[in-house]
Amino acid sequence: MDRRKMLIVAASSLAVVASGHALAQARPAPAAKLTMAAAINKAGRQRMLSQRMAKAYSQMGIGVLPDRAFKILNDSVALFDTQLAELTAFAPNAEISKTYAELGQAWSGYKALLGTAPSADTGARIQESNELVLRLANVGTQELEKASGTNLGRLVNISGRQRMLSQRTAMFFMFREWGLPKPVESALNTTRTEFRTALATLRGDPETTEEIKTQLGLAETQWLFFDTAVEASLKSKADLIRRQNVANSSERILEVFETVAGMYERLGAAKV
């Protein structure tokens, strides 16, 4: 089977597997199982997934670790569906309910694009549609943080947003390598600056424990390696090894900030 046929089969499989999670969305977990801190963490993870899916789709499009990218895309679609159902059920007020209804509508169109075989034409449409899903997911996270009214809610939000920024940086990198039409250089540099600024904010907050600071140090080390590869790509197209390094490093940074956001979430739950 040639590569194009393989991608078409993979994309078709994605659509089938993703549609199977409609049952999970129809039967959401009881809202009482979520604390506010956990809801903020899940809401923030939706932001990350919006970017991670676009990154993985682009990786498949340019042949960067395509098998792994397909698994990432498939898993991310399923998780987004599940968490959307949970957050919709949890929504503590009408404003947040409205946000998640709008997010559900935007997600429907985005998911349909992600279920197609990678092509530059669809990639260009994903450049647009991921931004709407990200914006609404971010609004939901901010509204939940506001409803929490706590500093730890803010820290869960900020640390969770670092997950998104790691994926957003890698997404812009893959868009650029694919040669998609919308310029990304300015947004890419803004995203990198935001990551570094937020890292300093987390380090300096009095509620950041020494254990969390250790994790932030790991993230910073990974970020330096990742950022160097991204910076080099702004001067010339990356070779396959550098593309793979960006893909892998973005996942390692994500893993660290999954841990960090979880640590802040537990601190927040303990103070309720």
Q: What is the pLDDT of residues 69-97, one digit of tens each?
A: 999 999 999 999 999 999 999 999 999 99
How many distinct structural domains can be found in the chain? 1
Integer CA distances (angstroms), 143 to 39, 91, 149, 153, 183, in order: 11, 10, 10, 11, 31
Confidence of residue 272 (pLDDT cuts 50, 70, 90): low
Higher pLDDT, residue 2 or 228: 228
Mean pLDDT of 126-152: 97
Summarised one tens digit per residue, pLDDT across range 172-224 is 999 999 999 999 999 999 999 999 999 999 999 999 999 999 999 999 999 99
Summarised one tens digit per residue, pLDDT across range 98-116 is 999 999 999 999 999 999 9
The whole-number pLDDT of residue 22 equals 32
Whether pLDDT at 33 is above 60 = yes
Structural domain for 161, as ranges: 3-270
The whole-number pLDDT of residue 10 equals 44
Summarised one tens digit per residue, pLDDT across range 8-31 is 334 434 433 333 333 333 334 444
226 in Cβ contact with 253 (< 8 Å): yes
Confidence of residue 237 (pLDDT cuts 50, 70, 90): confident
The average confidence (pLDDT) of the chain is 89
Whether pLDDT at 1 is above 60 = no
